[in-house]
Structure 1
Amino acid sequence: MIVVNILISLFVIVLLQFAGMYVFSLMTPYRDMEEINKGNVAVGITMGGKFIATAIVLAIAAYTNSSIWHMSLWFAVGYVCLIAAYWVFDWLTPGVRLSDQLKQGNVAVGSLLAAVYIGMALAVGSLII
């Protein structure tokens, strides 16, 4: 029975991770993987930051909850905070349209945004605990 629970948990964690990445990809007016295939380093860095941030929130939600449902709920709460962080950061930088800068390959913006995602994931993770 323990093996079945572990397999189910692993399946749910992988599903949530990739669902989170899919939702993040819907937030940009361009296709993330197409930009990465073109060699757009800025989008690659940002996507890596999204993946790490999503994994941090998911890991903390999984570690602090024994129920898959509670883990999923806390992941959703944390994930909404990550999405809100993007929109707030975009709003707070009115002279810079983040998605346009990323599409143009601005590595500085990509690195900064990845750091914002990871920092927010750590901050949100501390709320989940």
Structure 2
Amino acid sequence: MIGFDLLISFIVILVLQFAGMVIFSFITPFNDLEELSKGNNAVGLAFGGKFMGTAIILGVAAYTNSSILHMALWFGIGYLCLLLTYVIFDWLTPGVKLSEHLKNGNTAVGILLLTVYVGVAFAMSSLII
């Protein structure tokens, strides 16, 4: 029975992770996957940060909850905070239009966003426990 529970948990985690990435893609005015296929390193860094941030929140939610429903609920709360991070960070940096810099391949902005996503996810994960 443990194997079946592990399989179900794995499937739910994959679905939540990839659903999170799809939703994250909607907040940028460009197509993340298209930019990645063009070799845009800045978008790659920011997208990787989104993936890592989402994975951190999901991992902690999975580790600290014995119920898949509770795991999904805590992931949803943490994930919403991660989405708001981009919006708030973009608002707090009015002289730097993040999406334009990413689309133009500004690697510094990509690195900054990667660290912001991972840092916020790490901090948020302490609240899930």
User: Residues 84-125 of structure 1: CA distance to partner in whole angstroms, max 9, x if unpaired?
Assistant: 111110000000110011000000001001100000000100
Q: Percent of aligned pairs with the same residue? A: 62
Query: How big is the shift at 1:30?
Result: 0.7
2:36 & 2:82 partners in 1: Cα distance? 22
Q: How does 1:39-118 map to 2 (within 5 A)?
A: 39-118=39-118
> What do you get for the CA RMSD once the two structures are aligned?
0.5
1:89 & 1:29 partners in 2: Cα distance? 16
Question: How many pairs are equivalent?
Answer: 129
1:13 matched to 2:13? yes
| Paired AA for residue 73 in structure 2 | L
- Scaled by the length of structure 1, the TM-score of the pair is 0.99
Segments of 4+ moved more than 6 angstroms: none
| Paired AA for residue 82 in structure 2 | L
1:45 & 1:109 partners in 2: Cα distance? 9
Task: Return 5+ residue gaps in structure 2 as ranges.
Answer: none
| Paired AA for residue 50 in structure 2 | K
| Paired AA for residue 26 in structure 1 | F
1:23 & 1:114 partners in 2: Cα distance? 17
